[in-house]
Structure 1
Amino acid sequence: MASSLSVGKIGFGLMGMTWRAVQTPDEQAFAAMKTALETGCTFWDSGEFYGTPEPTLNLDLLKRYFDKYPQDAPKIFLSVKGGMNLQTFSPDGSEEGVRKNVENILQHLGPTKKLDLFQCGRVDQKTPIETTIKALAQLVKEGKISHIGLSECSAETIRRAYAVHPITAVEIEYSLWSTEAETNGVLETCKELGISVIAYSPLGRGFLTGELKKVRTFSSSAEDSAYITKTFLSSQPEDLPENDLRRRFDRFQPENWGNNIQLVDQLSAFAKKRGCTPAQLALAWVLAQGDNIIPIPGATSKERVAENAKANEIQLSKEELAGIRDILNKVEVKGGRYNKQLDAKFTLWG
């Protein structure tokens, strides 16, 4: 990554700390954040709108952390997504909009930590990307941000943006069950232009960890395959809390769950044979796809952060990568990454 700060191969996603009904207590959050730093996960990913019920709760968490540990501030490369109207929660890439975002982010972060990378969370279809990048380039000149990034955009948008100002990073969903970036030109374009790829949800929003298992339980004495199939495919993901956002996503719906869990089962078996956890295998696979790719798994406990960080020690052989790819080719993931309502609202890959 083009920066005076060298970041670790695995980053740290902070969204889960505050974008949920129950906030992560500071003591627990700070322990996880400290562990991320200590294990080399120095690329931290936040968002101006990563909070419930207040959108800026994630930024406020960061401020409290860096106020307590000011010595950590220069060791962290902080990326914050904005480019959204916080009242309507819709993309706003206008000059006025992104300046307002940046000023708001800086105000909430306080003077201890600078804003290393600013990304528009989604592409604003009403504003030419050239206008957005030109406005952000001015903010770079003013010293308010250090680098410009994009998120959930097409290869064409990346090229148009890059023609205005160098793009440091592009954030996309990329994992063992979300490989769209391999075929839509995004990975290829980023590699060509020397842009870092920030892979969010590299653990499939927790699905690839193999821990969401209650949905699969049924009577072992039932020999009727029709009964088993009916139970297997119609179960609800019981491991997800009632108010969990994932319950709204297509891939977690009962009609898709039974199919998609097959991918987890096969990958979990592969991981066991390899001597690592399913999460570590998923992260090691993302890392193996390119030297410019940084996965940013989220975690709210120091134990999980430490587990994720150890994926950096796993080197998958060509034969192992071929075996994993064979699993991906055999099990077709069912359901969209979000749902029709969110896809329409945010125009993914704009």
Structure 2
Amino acid sequence: MRYTTLGAGHPRVSAVGLGCMGMTSADGSESPRTLDRAAELGITLLDTADAYDRGANEDLLGRWLRHARREEVVVSTKFGLRHDPDTGMVATVDTSPEYVPVACDASLRRLGTDYIDVYYIHRRDPEVPIEDTVGAMAALVSAGKVAHLGLSEVSVETLRRAHAVHPIAAIQLEYSLFTRNVVEGDMLRTCRELGVAVVAYSPLGRGMLAGLLSSRADLDDSDGRRRWPRFAAENIAANLALVHNLKQVAATIGCTPAQAALAWLLAQGDDIVPIPGTKQVRYLEQNVAAAELTLTTDQVRQLAEAVPMSGVAGDRYPKAALDRIGH
């Protein structure tokens, strides 16, 4: 495994992390073994959030941490999304300074640890000054409850304002061959100017770039991706055509489509850290192997050309979720 740091002078982490969100979804029986295997393979960055299964995801990771070497892993979690107790759906975004310590203490209890390595704002309430939220988070650092601070899906302006209050180690952004415009350009230039790492979530386009889908019919009726625009009936065929292109380039490289997509991200710079999510050991092992691939300049170009952003059909989020990002 290769290693890098989350921003200038921040924690050392594996070049490929592990997104834990799906581990508590249906048929997550293999999840504990997947976490064990991740540690064996040298993955040190584990990402969760209090919103994932309303705390159950943090509970799962906490149970695993009790038997792990805590000092050898970098645990990141997020706060800010609050659920409706009746529907279970995200109802509000709360980044008020009063809520920050409450959310943190709850995460610490579920994780069974006395500190969080990287604590992120999951989504930002634009009505709450970012300075107030980050100020409350900085108090957690002073108290020893949090080591480093992060943001997720905010604007360049918000990143600058937050960093002026307390150094930001990383920003989580959706980044993949399917979604490049969110990171590339002003955001990436600003991150590099400030020494902020980009933690790339959904680096496999919510699984589509792995090349295992042939049509929308492959998605079970209970599969949550059915409500995502890029998997919609009117969009999926165009997107799967791009995945076909990816498969062809991956074959010339001698790897799987997922490995090619992850290797392309890693080739964008040591400050780009993808966190592909999986609950199965076989996919984890395939993802980790991508860190050993060294693409040529020509292969990086071919992959980008195989999946042009202009050809991607559908938004990356449903409208309600789109309304919560970019503040």
TM-score, normalised via structure 2 length: 0.93
Shift of 1:328: 3.1
Shift of 1:84: 2.4
Q: Hey, what does 1:35 align to over in structure 2?
A: 37
Deviations 1:283-317, CA, capped at 9 Å, x for gaps: 00010111101000011111111110000111111
Q: Hey, what does 1:315 align to over in structure 2?
A: 294
Shift of 1:194: 0.7
Task: Confirm whether residue 78 of structure 1 aligns to residue 84 of structure 2.
Answer: no
Detail structure 1 runs of 4+ shifted over 4 Å in the superposition: 2-5
The answer to whether the 8 A contact 1:32-1:305 is kept is yes
Q: Hey, what does 1:332 align to over in structure 2?
A: 311
Q: How does 1:164-243 map to 2 (within 5 A)?
A: 164-183=165-184, 185-213=186-214, 215=215, 237-243=216-222
Shift of 1:50: 0.6
Pick the aligned partner of 1:276 from 255, 268, 278. Answer: 255
Partner amino acid for 1:90? T
Shift of 1:5: 4.6
Task: Confirm whether residue 139 of structure 1 aligns to residue 140 of structure 2.
Answer: yes
SS state at 1:178 partner: coil
Partner amino acid for 1:78? V
* Matched length: 316
Deviations 1:163-191, CA, capped at 9 Å, x for gaps: 11100010000000000224452111111
Task: Confirm whether residue 11 of structure 1 aligns to residue 17 of structure 2.
Answer: yes
Pick the aligned partner of 2:106 from 81, 104, 113. Answer: 104
- CA distance in 1 between counterparts of 2:283 and 2:128 reads 40
Q: Which segments of 5 or more consecutive residues in structure 1 lack a partner in the other structure?
A: 216-236
Q: How does 1:20-59 map to 2 (within 5 A)?
A: 20=25, 22-25=26-29, 28-51=30-53, 55-59=54-58
TM-score, normalised via structure 1 length: 0.87
SS state at 1:59 partner: helix
Task: Confirm whether residue 349 of structure 1 aligns to residue 326 of structure 2.
Answer: yes
Identity in percent: 40
Partner amino acid for 2:97? E
The answer to whether the 8 A contact 1:154-1:184 is kept is no
Shift of 1:327: 2.1
Deviations 1:46-71, CA, capped at 9 Å, x for gaps: 000111xxx0101110121122x13x
SS state at 1:140 partner: helix
Q: Hey, what does 1:225 align to over in structure 2?
A: none
**Structural RMSD (CA):** 1.6
Q: Hey, what does 2:153 align to over in structure 1?
A: 152
Of 160-169 and 36-45, the range deviating more from structure 2: 36-45
The answer to whether the 8 A contact 1:11-1:297 is kept is yes
Q: 1:198 to 1:330 in 2, by over 3 A?
A: closer
SS state at 1:89 partner: strand
Partner amino acid for 2:318? N
- CA distance in 2 between counterparts of 1:4 and 1:84 reads 26
Q: Hey, what does 2:130 align to over in structure 1?
A: 129
The answer to whether the 8 A contact 1:248-1:339 is kept is yes
Q: Which has the larger radius of gyration?
A: 1
- CA distance in 2 between counterparts of 1:138 and 1:61 reads 27
More strand by share: 2
Q: 1:200 to 1:267 in 2, by over 3 A?
A: same
The answer to whether the 8 A contact 1:260-1:331 is kept is no
Q: Hey, what does 1:224 align to over in structure 2?
A: none
